[in-house]
Amino acid sequence: MNYTKFPRRKYLQGPTPIEHLPSLSNALGGDVNIYVKRDDLLPGSGGGNKTRKLEFCIADAMEKGADAIITCGAVQSNHCRLTAAWSAKEGLDCHLILEERVKGSYKADASGNNFLFELLDVQSIGVVPGGSDMMAEMKKKAEALTAQGKTAYIIPGGASNPIGATGYAVCAEETMNQLNDMHLGIDHIVVPSGSAGTHAGMVVGMIGVNGGIPISGVNVSRKKDVQEEIVYKLAVELAARLGVKSGIAREDLVCFDQYVGPGYSLPTESMVAAVKLFAKTEAILLDPVYSGKAAAGLLDLVRKGHFPKGANVLFLHTGGSPALYAYMDTFRQG
């Protein structure tokens, strides 16, 4: 596809690696060959998927003359960390609104991403209760900055609008090119499904290049039907933006919701086991909130025989490992 008509800052040095995971595959019985796409190794302080989206969102902000970025996320948000990182790099101010989705979970002196917000010189942090209207909160902040003579630009949570999700359509095309170069036939791709830009972008990109590889999302907060509808809506908008002719079918969006546990960011036994298994077999660090739960889904689907014997399955590792340091007790107890 042709992405040259969209404003874009180039933050990637090249494609992220696709690696075979033989030890992990063997640990699961060896019937399925597991591969990983290492978006945890993307540039940007600490790595992770938001860098691909921010290539487009920050470029749009700069084209519009912004000198301050406002975004939002949970108290350990990787998206907030990476928005702060690329804002710092571009010489833009960064303001965060954090949603305390779990009551009492914000601690100004917490480790993990929260510590990095500080190090990356975030200009202000506003904390609001779970369930707040985050867009309204960000607009309030934008008005205050405008009154101070700033030009503010709002990036929605997870950078999951059609502008940001474009970064994951690019990723699907990048992946397909790599698989062709490697002459590696992948039967299925598994991705985390959160604010939906990653999942929607991958599906639209895959359809756009006629790659034909089915993609499944593993939810980190919502129920299956609700999440599929959110991803579908974004996918339709993104397909229109990119001019993907063949259209997106509702059935192209498939989510699993059995691995969420008690709720967003709350640890589960299967997440802890998945993080430990990836670390000890492949020396790959997952995270407690997204990639860890998505990997728990991947492992369970493999063990249940969801994929046929001999299948090649690619797991999109979206990063997030800085959050591990805010969850050390969970892993030491688990």
Ligand X SMILES: *Cc1c(COP(=O)(O)O)cnc(C)c1O
Interacting positions 152-171 with ligand X (CB under 6 A): 158, 160
**List 188, 291, 296, 299, residue binding ligand X (CB under 6 A):** 291
Q: Is 195 in the site for ligand X (CB under 6 A)?
A: yes
CA proximity to 56, closest of 2, 12, 1, 10? 10
> Does 293 help bind ligand X (rule: CB under 6 A)?
no
In 193-223, alpha helices (H): 197-208
The region of 118-126, 192-200, 235-243, 304-312 touching ligand X under the rule CB under 6 A is 192-200
Sign of the CA dihedral running 58, 63, 64, 66: positive
Minimal distance, residue 79 CB to ligand X, in Å: 5
What is each CA distance from 51 to 16, 291, 332, in whole angstroms?
A: 12, 16, 30
**Identified catalytic residue from 77, 195, 270, 291:** 77
Q: Where do the DSSP E strands lie in 178-233?
A: 188-193, 215-219
With binding defined as CB under 6 A, does residue 290 bind ligand X? Answer: yes
Strand 18-20 versus strand 33-38 pairing type: antiparallel
CA distance 191 to 207: 16
Is 79 among the residues that bind ligand X (CB under 6 A)? yes
Tally the C-alpha atoms within 13 A of residue 277's C-alpha that lie toward its C-beta.
22
CB of 232 to ligand X, least distance (A): 13
48 is an interface residue for ligand X by CB under 6 A? yes
Q: How far is the CB of 82 from ligand X (least distance, A)?
A: 8
Query: Rule CB under 6 A: is residue 199 a binding residue for ligand X?
Result: yes
Binding residues for ligand X restricted to 93-112, rule: CB under 6 A: none
Whole-number Å distance between alpha carbons of 266 and 63: 38
Q: Is 291 a catalytic residue?
A: no
Size, binding site for ligand X by CB under 6 A? 20
Compare residues 145 and 298 and give the one whose CB is closer to ligand X: 298
Residue 314, beta-bridge partner list: 35, 189
Strands 152-154 and 254-256: unpaired
Choose the stretch contacting ligand X; rule: CB under 6 A; options: 144-152, 171-179, 197-205, 271-279. Answer: 197-205
Q: Taking CB under 6 A as the rule, does residue 194 contact ligand X?
A: yes
Chain position carrying tokens 């989510």: 255
Residues in contact with ligand X by the rule CB under 6 A: 48-49, 78-79, 158, 160, 192-199, 287, 290-291, 318-320
Supply the residues annotated as catalytic.
77
